[in-house]
Structure 1
Amino acid sequence: MTQIANAAAKVEHPTVEALRMFVRNPAANAGMVILLLVILVSIVGPLIYGADPFEIRAAPLTAPFTEEAWLGTDYLGRDVLTTLIYGGRATLLVGAVAALLSVSIGITLGAMAGYYGGRVDAILMRVTEFFQVLPALLFAMVVVSLFGAKLTIVTLAIGLVSWTGTARLTRAEFMKYRDLEFVRAERAIGAGNARIIWRVILPNALPPLIVSGTLAIGAAILFEAGLSFLGLGDPNQMSWGLMIGSSRQYVLSCWWAVAFPGAAIFVTVLAVSLIGDGLNDALNPKLRER
C-alpha cells in the first residue's frame, strides 16, 4: 500500500508536467525572454524615451550610429529609434487582437461543426472552405480599401481571413471527443449541449488550440506588415510595417529605415514561433513521452 501511495504521489498533474517540460526547453525559454523584452520595450520605452514618432528630429537620411540619431533617420528626418519603439505597440496590438479574433471565430465554428455533425457540419465546412480558397491578402485589401486604412479595420480584416486553420483543427478535436465515455456520462445526467461543448469537451481540446493561437500571433504580425508595405496600413499609427512600407522606395539610400523594423519583425515572429514549438512539445502527450 505504501508503494502504491508513493507511486501515486509521483504522478504529476498534466498541467504541472507540461509547465515543467516547457521550462526545460531552452529554445522556448529564449523565445519567451525575447518576446517579454520586446513587449517591455514597447510599453515602457515611450514612457522613458518620450518623443513624437512623427516629429522631424534631424536631417533626412542621416546615417545610424551618430549623435543626431542612434539608428539614423528616414527620408523625412524622423528618428528611426523613436519610430521603432512606438511602432512596437501597434504591431503587437494588431498581432494579439487579430489572433484572438481569429482563434475565437475558428473555435466557435469548429466546435459547432465537430459536435453537431450532419447538416450543421456540412454548412459550416462549406463556409470554411470558401474562406480557405479565398485569397487572404486580396480579401483583406478589399476590406481595408472599402472601410478605410484604420488600425481597427486592419485588425478586423486580418482576423476575418485567418481563422480557417483553427476551425478545422477544432472540428477534428471535437469529433474525437464527442462520443467518448465522459461526454456520454454528461449527456446521461442531463447536461445541455452548451455545457458539454464549452465546459466538457473544449478544456480537453485546448492544448493544440493554444499552440495554434500562439502561432497565429506571428502570422498576424507578418500580415499587418504586408498590408502596410502595400500602403494599406493606418498612416496615423506608427507600426513596424508602416516604417518598412513608407521607406521602401529609399531602401538603397536609407537601408537602416527598412532593416531595423524588418529585424524587429523577424525577431518577434521568431520568438513567437519558438514559444509555439515549446508549447506543442509540452502539451502534446506523445511528444512529452518522447
Structure 2
Amino acid sequence: MTVEANPTIAASGLPAGGSPIFAILRKVWRHSLGRIGIIVLGVFVVAALTAPWISPHGPATIDYEAILLPPSAQYWLGTDELGRDILSRIIYGATASLKVMGISIAIALVFGVAIGLITGYYGGWLDDLVMRIMDGLLAFPMLVLALAIVATLGPDLINAIIAIAIVNIPGFARLVRGQVLSLRDVEFVQAARAAGFSNARIIWRHIWPSVRGNVIVYASLKASTALITESALSFLGLGVQPPTPTWGSMLSVSMQYWDAWWMGVFPGAAIFLTVLALNFLGDALRDSLDSRLKG
C-alpha cells in the first residue's frame, strides 16, 4: 500500500513538487502590494549587505566641523551631534537591525514549529505542560518580556536576539499546534499510519507541508514586530550597544536634539518603511497562499 502526497497541500498554496520558494516569490511578485514590499525590503537588505562599499562615510567617522548639519550635497541626510553622516549610519544600522530581526525570527520559527508539531501530534501530558508554559509567556506583553530578558542577561546583540526569539516562540507554537490538531486524524494521516509510516515521517512529509503556508505568512508579519521590538530595545539602550549604529539607538539620541529634525526623521522613516514592506509581504503571502481567497 502506498500513500500519495497529501492532497490538502494545495490548500497551503505550495506545490508538492518543484521549488516552493520560487513558486511563492512568483505569486507574491504578481501581487501589487507584494511587489512593493519586495522592492522596499530588497533595497534595505542590499544596503545592509553592501554597507562597506556604498556608504559615503564610515558609521563612526567623527567630523567636529560638520556637527548637526542639515541635509546637503555633501551629507545627503545631514549629520548628528558628533558630525557623523546620518545616511552612512542608517545604512550600517540596517545591517544590525535586520540581522537581529532575521536571526531572532528564524530561531523562533524553528523552535516554535518544532514545539507545535510535536505537542499537536502527540497530545497528552506533554501537550498540556508545554502549552501552559507557552500561555504563561503569552500572558506578558511582548516588549515587557523582552525587556525583562535583556535586563537579566545584559544588553548586547546576542541577548537581544535571544530575547526577541523567546517572546516570539509561543505564537509560532500555538499556530502550528492548532493546525496539527485539525490534521492529525484526517484520512491521509490515518492512511499513512496504516501503511506503517513512522510518526516522524508522517509529521514531516504529510502534516508539515499542509501548515507551512500559514507559518510563512505568520513569520513575515512577526518579522515586523521583531523589528519594532529591536528598535525599542535599542532606543532604551538595551539592544545592540554603541558604537554599532541601529535605527532605534539613532532615534534615542535624536530626542536630545529637537531642532535637528533630520536626526530622528530619517531613522524613523527607515523603520516605518521596513515594517510597512513586511506587512505588505504578509498581505501578499496571505492572499497568494490561502486558497479560500482564490476565485
Give TM-score, length-normalised by structure 2.
Answer: 0.87
Alignment of 1:63 with 2:70, yes or no, is: yes
Alignment of 1:44 with 2:50, yes or no, is: yes
**Superimposed CA distance per residue, residues 79-125 of structure 1 (whole angstroms, 9 cap, x where no aligned partner):** 10110111111111111111111112221111122111222221121
Cα distance change on mapping 1:19 and 1:140 into 2, 3 Å: closer
Aligned to 1:278: 284
Aligned to 2:108: 102
Identity, % of aligned pairs?
39
Aligned to 1:148: 154
Aligned to 2:41: 35
Give TM-score, length-normalised by structure 1.
Answer: 0.89
**Equivalence map 1:212-223=2 (5 Å):** 212-223=218-229
Aligned to 1:246: 253
What is the identity, as a one-letter code, of the residue corresponding to 1:79?
D
SS at match of 1:163: helix
**Superimposed CA distance per residue, residues 15-65 of structure 1 (whole angstroms, 9 cap, x where no aligned partner):** 388665433211111111111111112222421336321121343211122
SS at match of 1:38: helix
Alignment of 1:187 with 2:213, yes or no, is: no
The 2-side partners of 1:238 and 1:288 are apart by 44
The 2-side partners of 1:48 and 1:18 are apart by 30
The 1-side partners of 2:205 and 2:287 are apart by 25
Q: Is the 8 A contact 1:211 1:276 kept in 2?
A: yes
The 1-side partners of 2:110 and 2:43 are apart by 27
The 1-side partners of 2:73 and 2:120 are apart by 59
The 2-side partners of 1:195 and 1:259 are apart by 51
Q: Is the 8 A contact 2:47 2:54 kept in 1?
A: no
**Equivalence map 1:1-290=2 (5 Å):** 15=15, 21-49=27-55, 51-57=57-63, 58-67=65-74, 69-236=75-242, 237-250=244-257, 252-289=258-295
Identify the range of structure 1 (218-227 vs 131-140) with the bigger mean alpha-carbon deviation: 131-140
SS at match of 1:77: coil
Identify the range of structure 1 (37-46 vs 209-218) with the bigger mean alpha-carbon deviation: 37-46
The CA deviation at 1:287 is 0.8
The 2-side partners of 1:269 and 1:18 are apart by 20
Unpaired runs of 5+ in structure 1? 1-12
The 2-side partners of 1:20 and 1:95 are apart by 24
Count matched residues. 275
What is the identity, as a one-letter code, of the residue corresponding to 1:145?
A
Identify the range of structure 1 (105-114 vs 43-52) with the bigger mean alpha-carbon deviation: 43-52
Unpaired runs of 5+ in structure 2? 1-12
What is the identity, as a one-letter code, of the residue corresponding to 1:131?
L
The 1-side partners of 2:26 and 2:90 are apart by 35
The CA deviation at 1:249 is 2.0
The 2-side partners of 1:19 and 1:52 are apart by 34
Aligned to 1:7: none
What is the identity, as a one-letter code, of the residue corresponding to 1:153?
N
What is the identity, as a one-letter code, of the residue corresponding to 1:118?
G
The CA deviation at 1:280 is 0.4
Aligned to 1:10: none
Q: Is the 8 A contact 1:27 1:274 kept in 2?
A: yes
Q: Is the 8 A contact 1:84 1:240 kept in 2?
A: yes
What is the identity, as a one-letter code, of the residue corresponding to 2:132?
R
